[in-house]
């Protein structure tokens, strides 16, 4: 193995998240972008530079409470997230967002996150759908039935102006 190979292997290891936490928020504003910013503030992650990633929970990645994860992050830090986002400017419309999580029975295996958002359906049904998606994604590859299913969802009825709902799985390296 060359020195370049060793450095690349070491760098890749540092980008494997060791922890994740879930958070959610709702924002309201006359401007759509500001509504999103307010939702991120409500979720407690407005001070981060978010990089949206796909749906894999690495082996041995521990799910921790939001309060424990937030204190590990610094303003301006680049944070990798799986993000579900929904917005509406139609007064009275119900908007929801969710992330389902399927974790294997064995910590040496990876799990899945599935984001889902919709209108007209509340957070409980939205979360159920997202969890079913995550379980199905996991089942198509492994056939492992010993899954732990979890997740997060939020919803809101749109007011005048924009209403945004966000759910995030925030990874900690």
Q: Is the dihedral of CA 123, 124, 129, 135 positive or negative?
A: positive
Q: What is the pLDDT of residues 75-112, one digit of tens each?
A: 999 999 999 999 999 999 999 999 999 998 888 889 99
Are the beta carbons of 114 and 141 closer than 8 angstroms? no
How many Å apart are CA 157 and CA 129, to the nearest integer?
Answer: 20
| Cβ neighbours, 10 Å, residue 90 | 12
Q: In what order do the strands lie in the sheet with 62-63?
A: 49-52, 78-88, 162-172, 19-29, 62-63
Q: Where are the domains of the chain?
A: 19-172
Are the beta carbons of 168 and 45 closer than 8 angstroms? yes
DSSP class of 61: P
Q: 116: closest CA among 127, 124, 104, 108?
A: 127
- pLDDT category, 127, cuts 50, 70, 90? very high
Q: What is the pLDDT of residues 20-67, one digit of tens each?
A: 999 999 999 999 999 999 999 999 999 999 999 999 999 999 999 999
User: What is this structure's pTM?
Assistant: 0.90
Class of domain 19-172 (CATH, top level): alpha beta
How many Å apart are CA 56 and CA 47, to the nearest integer?
Answer: 24
Q: What percent of the chain has pLDDT over 90?
A: 82
Question: Residue 127 burial by CB count (10 A; 0-12/13-18/19+): exposed, middle or buried?
Answer: buried
């Amino acid at each position: 193995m060359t020195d370049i190979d060793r450095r690349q292997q070491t760098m890749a290891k540092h980008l494997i998240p060791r922890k994740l936490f879930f958070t959610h928020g709702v924002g309201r504003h006359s401007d759509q972008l500001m509504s999103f910013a307010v939702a991120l503030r409500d979720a407690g992650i407005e001070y981060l530079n978010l990089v949206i990633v796909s749906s894999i929970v690495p082996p041995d990645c521990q799910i921790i409470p939001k309060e424990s994860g937030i204190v590990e992050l610094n303003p301006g830090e680049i944070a990798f997230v799986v993000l579900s986002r929904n917005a509406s400017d139609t007064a009275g419309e119900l908007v929801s967002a969710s992330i389902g999580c399927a974790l294997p029975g064995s910590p040496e295996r990876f799990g899945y996150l599935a984001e889902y958002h919709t209108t007209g359906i509340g957070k409980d049904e939205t979360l159920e759908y997202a969890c079913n998606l995550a379980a199905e994604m996991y089942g198509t590859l492994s056939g492992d039935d010993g899954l732990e299913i979890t997740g997060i969802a939020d919803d809101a009825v749109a007011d005048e102006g924009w209403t945004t709902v966000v759910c995030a799985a925030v990874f900690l390296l």
